[in-house]
């Protein structure tokens, strides 16, 4: 479950983690864990026999605790109650969840803790090992460093008025994240991603402004902007390379509820002399739930126009299979939670395997998103996934960087290790040079 710590540049967790709280009803287990913590330099370790005692220790502490190890199943106040009460305290230590019981309950407890807004360093089956304890303490250091960076440079919160002003000032940009065809090693397409160049925060992602954009009157123009830039990029790459290059564009809920949009989107693509089949529209399951009659018409007309349709974040909605039956999709895009979880979680692995088997049986293309590790790429390749997208392949990059890489004759075909399904090369983008390089 845990990756080994990276010793490079590590001055030791003891310099940063001073106080630990062990919420554990078994005294022998608590003593062993306390010895492990002291061995990595944690100066003070306090034991609490159940959740109520643990909350009391936190409330009465003169100096705050840095980390709390919490067992789930305790005869007094259990770990789940402890997490709920911990969320209401002014100072909340980072949390490690541990249990010798059902791993599914442990996973559910992690989601619960994160739902309470707590910092969860990890979950661990009992008994914990010294290497696991060391890594967890080092994770606390990393979490603290990231939190300090966030405080130093917080992500701006944009209002609908901010979005409208940014649109009028031309500060929206379209970046692209390449997608690799796993059987051949070719970069055959990319997802178009909206970015905003902020006055003080630099380039910010759609998560900071999309909710406000949905509330403003510019969401339709933003969709057209992304499609226009994506179509232009695809047409240019095809002209330079002589190969098809497909672009994926996310559609908003507002677009799906407006029956006039299919004609407008078709015009944008045709103006660039591009076939609609070179564009894949990605739709999330939550979008498909609203205004079903209008959505069905819009989706069907997009399909009639020749566009490709992808169901994004497949498996995370409430009616995945029903939507797949009702609507004319070409592609399943597998949510990154299953891709990342499949290496260590049996249920995620089974969901990933069966989703890919379903795609194959229905003759749909498949895309694995969030591929960051070679092991993840190897896994989705072995399971028959068609395309992969993620930081292992390439980070998002501006259009000029993508064009330069494709046009310079940089090998679109990646080199492979140990067989054609194991990609070795990684594309990188240097923000300083504003171009990509292999």
Q: Would you say 141 and 16 are in contact if contact means Cβ atoms under 8 Å apart?
A: yes
Residue 435 pairs in a beta bridge with 430
Cα 295 to Cα 30, 281, 327, 380: the distances in Å are: 56, 13, 10, 31
Q: Would you say 266 and 318 are in contact if contact means Cβ atoms under 8 Å apart?
A: no
The answer to whether the bond into 127 is cis (omega within 30° of 0) is yes
Tokens at residue 133, please? 């304890």
Instruction: Note if 164 is an active site residue.
Output: no
Taking the C-alpha atoms of residue 224 and residue 30, their distance in angstroms, rounded to an integer, is 59
Q: Would you say 386 and 367 are in contact if contact means Cβ atoms under 8 Å apart?
A: yes
Taking the C-alpha atoms of residue 231 and residue 399, their distance in angstroms, rounded to an integer, is 11
DSSP H or E segment with residue 183:
none
Taking the C-alpha atoms of residue 134 and residue 130, their distance in angstroms, rounded to an integer, is 6
Cα 206 to chain center, whole Å?
13
State the catalytic residue, choosing from 369, 372, 375, 386: 369
Taking the C-alpha atoms of residue 370 and residue 243, their distance in angstroms, rounded to an integer, is 26
Start-to-end CA distance of the chain, whole Å, equals 32
Listing DSSP states for 323-372 in one string gives: HHHHS--SEEEE-HHHHHHTTT-HHHHHHHHHHHHHHHHTT-EEEEE---
Residues labelled catalytic: 369
């Amino acid at each position: 479950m845990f990756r080994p710590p990276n010793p490079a540049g590590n001055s030791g967790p003891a310099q940063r983690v001073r106080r630990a709280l062990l919420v554990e009803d078994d005294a022998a287990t608590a003593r062993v864990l306390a010895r492990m913590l002291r061995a990595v330099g944690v100066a003070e370790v306090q034991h609490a026999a159940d959740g109520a005692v643990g909350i009391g220790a936190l409330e009465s502490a003169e100096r705050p605790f840095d980390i709390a190890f919490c067992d789930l199943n305790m005869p007094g106040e259990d770990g789940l109650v402890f997490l709920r009460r911990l969320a209401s305290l002014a100072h909340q230590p980072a949390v490690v969840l541990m249990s010798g019981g059902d791993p599914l309950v442990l996973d559910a407890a992690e989601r619960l803790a994160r739902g309470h807004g707590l910092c969860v360093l990890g979950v661990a089956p009992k008994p914990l090992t010294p290497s696991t304890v060391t890594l967890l303490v080092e994770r606390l250091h990393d979490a603290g460093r990231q939190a300090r960076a966030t405080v130093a440079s917080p992500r701006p919160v944009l209002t609908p008025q901010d979005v409208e002003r940014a649109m009028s000032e031309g500060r929206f940009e379209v970046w692209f994240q390449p997608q690799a065809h796993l059987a051949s090693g070719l970069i055959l397409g990319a997802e178009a991603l909206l970015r905003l160049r902020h006055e003080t925060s630099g380039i910010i992602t759609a998560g900071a402004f999309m909710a406000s954009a949905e509330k403003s009157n510019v969401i339709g123009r933003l969709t057209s902007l992304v499609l226009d830039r994506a179509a232009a990029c695809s047409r240019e790459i095809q002209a330079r390379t002589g190969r098809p290059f497909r672009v994926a564009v996310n559609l908003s809920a507002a677009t799906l509820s407006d029956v006039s949009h299919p004609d407008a989107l078709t015009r944008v693509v045709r103006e660039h002399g591009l076939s609609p089949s070179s564009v894949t529209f990605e739709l999330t399951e939550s979008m498909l739930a609203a205004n079903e009659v209008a959505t069905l018409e819009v989706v069907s007309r997009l399909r009639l126009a020749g566009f490709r349709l992808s169901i994004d974040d497949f498996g995370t909605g409430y009616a995945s299979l029903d939507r797949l039956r009702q609507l004319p999709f070409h592609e399943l895009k597998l949510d990154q939670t299953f891709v990342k979880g499949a290496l260590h979680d049996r249920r995620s692995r089974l969901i990933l395997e069966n989703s890919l088997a379903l795609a194959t049986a229905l003759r749909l293309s498949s895309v694995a998103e969030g591929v960051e590790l070679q092991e993840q790429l190897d896994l989705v390749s072995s399971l028959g996934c068609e395309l992969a997208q993620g930081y292992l392949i390439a980070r998002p990059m501006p259009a000029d960087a993508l064009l330069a890489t494709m046009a310079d004759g940089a090998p679109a075909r990646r080199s492979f290790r140990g067989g054609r399904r194991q990609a070795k090369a990684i594309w990188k983008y240097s923000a300083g040079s504003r171009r990509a390089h292999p």
